[in-house]
Chain A
Amino acid sequence: MDGRVGLRASRRAAPTPRVAVRSSPRQRARVREQEPVVSAMSGSGLGKENKAGSSTPLRHRPNAFSELDNATPRVMLRKIIQNQPQVSPLALQTVQLEETEDARPEPPSQRTSSTVELQLPDLVPEDASVTTFRMTRKRKKLSISEFERAADKRLPQNQAHSTLDSTLVRSLRMSVGSVMAPDTVEKRGLLRRPQNHKAIDIAAFEGGVEQNMLQIKAQDYLVDLQTSSMTGTTTIRTDAEVVLNNTELFVEPQLGEQNLLAVEPQLSDSKTSAQRSNTSYPAHEKARLEGLVSRVSTDERRTLRFSEKDLITDHEHVDGITQKTPAKEGEDEQDHSQQNDPMEQFSESEEMAGTTEHHADAEYSEHSEKKLSRKAVSQLTAAQDAGVEMEMTPSEGGVAEGTEHQDSPKAELQMAGSPGGHSPASYSLKKSGAKPLKEAVEQTGEIERGTITGVLDAAEEEATDDESDIEDHESEEISMKTPMFVHAAAYRPHPVLSPPHPVKSASPELPPQPVRAKPVPKSSGAAQRKTREPEIASSLIKQIFSHYVKTPVTRDAYKIVEKCSERYFKQISSDLEAYSQHAGRKTVEMADVELLMRRQGLVTDKMPLHVLVERHLPLEYRKLLIPIAVSGNKVIPCK
């Protein structure tokens, strides 16, 4: 055994112990028992040493008990760590040289003592195994320096900087944290993937919006031209068509806002000039409107929506766009109504809005023209004008819709920001002059309402308008029936609705939009009973929703969530009212709420209300709902 060990040690002294082991046929017989272990070990990674040595001590121990104390694994390991050099796995000459050099002196020393100590030969394999281990551990250091050298050698041409700088940089990088071995440089496993910020979409979107605004501006020019040329008739053909072609839902509010924004700065100048030429640009306007409409998606200026819609409805109206989104319908209606008489025009616009979807352009334009001419005199041009001039003077309705006023009101209206420049066209008919879009829009909306009915609520107004419109217009029967029904249904439980409701009713698909109330904030003095519907802060909804969803959400989705939640709250509040009324009370009590939850299926026979309260509410609320008994015979809350 010793001889064998000695042979093995001598063999192992060679740079490649594996080779040595295998190459010696003499030893094979003796080393056979160790070969499998050796080969297995060598296959693990480094070819130099293997863990075969670890097994050998076990074998040799029973044979040489006397030397066990001196050559415990711990002692051997210590010796190895202290003595064995670290060998890099890389086939670098320097490293190998080191290894060989280190290895060589050791075996001789061991050899000398191998005869005496049984464990020494074991030390070699152990050293090998330990060295292997050490090598892996120290691999990083050596490899880094080696890597740097190699990299320097390899990429001298690639680097414009001095090698020193590059090495420094690399060394810095290495030291800083690259745990990668040189061979892993190409790998990107530890590199971070490029982050995709969602803001990019928004940026692109904004850019597109700006482009649209520019387009709208151009459209406004065109519309103005058209309107000015036509007396009493709005050449909304293009605008309406453009708007109608956009099949996006809820485009109205967005369009209006954006248009308002875009148009405002631009409208004041170009309107009058733009009004000269008209008919030639329908196609263009359409295209632009479509583009604009499709891109609008922000609820920035909800207050402008209403006015925008009015404008749009008028335009679309005239154009006789066959395709119209429900949103457009509402807009058309509103626009139309704005242009025409407050009451009648509402109906007209609604009718027209409805009909535009289903009727040919020619028909429509004729109708619109007729209506416009009809209502030209009685229209609230004054209101519009007043609105245009920032003075809410409903009495100004005296301003004729004639061309004389077309410029200013139209300009203002246009500025109001019809999505597709519709508003300019529609308003251009009646008004002239430039005014801030917002003001014009708001005022026109308000004026219309004021003139229409100082008595009726905005909602009721619109409801009646819609209904009357439906009845008036024969061609719009089909289209208007749904709005009427929706309108009636919507208005029945909610008698006090904001002005935008008629628009909503006109478009059955659209859920109610309480935001529309915003455009009609303060009446200029006329008796306007517009009660603004209270809304839940959109930021709150966004916050809660995004918290539970845990993934990014688009703005459109937030809008829809807002609408849904509003619908939901309306429904449950009406339910609660019915329940309390059912019990002969006028106040909603907890019993009503519990009944509602039972109906919803949240509270069952198995799940009482208190359990839900405990589960979901914070302690403060729980204290209020569930009595707590405390010391001193007190019950909180006191009963």
Chain B
Amino acid sequence: GSEAAGGEQRELLIQRLRAAVHYTTGALAQDVAEDKGVLFSKQTVAAISEITFRQAENFARDLEMFARHAKRSTITSEDVKLLARRSNSLLKYITQKSDELASSNMEQKEKKKKKSSAAKGRKTEENETPVTESEDSNMA
């Protein structure tokens, strides 16, 4: 019973996520349409969003596998880079971005640490999470 309810909840959650992806895809498609002067049919947008959603599932599974393979319990940018190995250009891009982010993070950390150790310590923690999130968004 609880599992069924959990499953239902999970199903609902999945549907909500799928809808969110679909909405974002539609928005992006509209931008592209305006930019290139072409039109996107609804089926196209739906297909793209479905593909994106399924591929995101694949990515999540692979990323978890990679993290577990490295005996870690957290997914890091290294896992993402390993995931993007298939496409050289994508890998280069991601590596570039991750380096930029890492360097900017380091700079921020150093600055903050220089200014004040105690107060800034908390802030650096906060900065880290958005950094990882942005990295994830890059991967997705």
Contacts and interface: CB of A to CB of B under 8 A. Distances in A.
A297 B74 CA distance: 54
B88 A591 contact: no
B62 A599 contact: yes
Contact of B78 (A489, A582, A599): A582
A583 B82 contact: no
Contacts of A578: 82, 85
A595 B70 contact: no
A493 to B, nearest CB: 9
B66 interface: yes
Question: How many A residues are at the interface, by size bracket?
Answer: 10 to 19
Interface in A588-624: 591-592, 595, 598-599
A391 interface: no
B70 A583 contact: yes
B29 interface: no
Contacts of B69: 579, 582-583, 591-592, 595
Contacts of A592: 69
A396 interface: no
Contact of A595 (B65, B71, B78): B65
Contacts of A598: 62, 65
Contacts of A566: none
Contact of B70 (A489, A575, A582, A599): A582
Contacts of A599: 62, 65
B85 A575 contact: yes
Contacts of A489: 88
Interface centre among B62, B70, B78 (most CB of A within 10 A): B70
A584 interface: yes
A578 B88 CA distance: 14
Interface in B64-98: 65-66, 69-71, 78-79, 82, 85, 88
Question: How many B residues are at the interface, by size bracket?
Answer: 10 to 19
Nearest to A584: B70
Nearest to B79: A582
A575 B82 CA distance: 9
Interface of B is mostly: helix
Nearest to B78: A582
Contact of B71 (A575, A579, A583): A583
Contacts of A595: 65-66, 69
A271 to B, nearest CB: 46
Contacts of B71: 583
A599 B88 CA distance: 17
Nearest to B85: A578
Interface in B84-140: 85, 88
A582 B66 contact: yes
A579 B88 contact: no
A579 B82 CA distance: 8
Contacts of B65: 595, 598-599
A592 B66 CA distance: 10
Contacts of B88: 489
A589 to B, nearest CB: 10
A165 to B, nearest CB: 77
Nearest to B62: A599
A598 B79 CA distance: 15
Contacts of A584: 70
Contacts of B85: 575, 578
Contacts of A583: 69-71
A595 B69 CA distance: 8
A266 to B, nearest CB: 46
A511 B130 CA distance: 43
Contacts of B70: 582-584
Interface in A555-587: 575, 578-579, 582-584
A584 B69 CA distance: 10
B10 to A, nearest CB: 16
A489 B62 CA distance: 25
A583 B72 CA distance: 9
A594 to B, nearest CB: 9
Nearest to B67: A582
A584 B82 CA distance: 13
Contacts of A579: 69, 82
A575 B65 CA distance: 14
Contacts of A591: 69
Contacts of B62: 598-599
A575 B78 CA distance: 14
A599 B66 CA distance: 10
Contacts of B79: 582
A495 to B, nearest CB: 15
A552 B62 CA distance: 40
A582 B85 CA distance: 12
Interface string B27-69: 0000000000000000000000000000000000010011001
Interface string A322-351: 000000000000000000000000000000
B90 to A, nearest CB: 13
B79 to A, nearest CB: 8
B55 to A, nearest CB: 13
A601 B79 CA distance: 18
A570 to B, nearest CB: 13
B86 to A, nearest CB: 9
A575 B85 CA distance: 8
B23 to A, nearest CB: 30
A91 to B, nearest CB: 75
B91 to A, nearest CB: 10
| Top 9 A-B residue pairs of the complex, sorted by shortest distance between their CB atoms | A583-B70, A595-B69, A582-B82, A583-B69, A582-B70, A598-B65, A489-B88, A578-B85, A595-B65
Given A579-B69, A582-B82, 18 more contacts: A489-B88, A578-B82, A578-B85, A579-B82, A582-B69, A582-B70, A582-B78, A582-B79, A583-B69, A583-B70, A583-B71, A584-B70, A591-B69, A595-B65, A595-B66, A598-B62, A598-B65, A599-B62
15 contacts: A575-B85, A578-B85, A579-B69, A579-B82, A582-B66, A582-B69, A582-B78, A583-B69, A584-B70, A591-B69, A592-B69, A595-B66, A595-B69, A598-B65, A599-B62
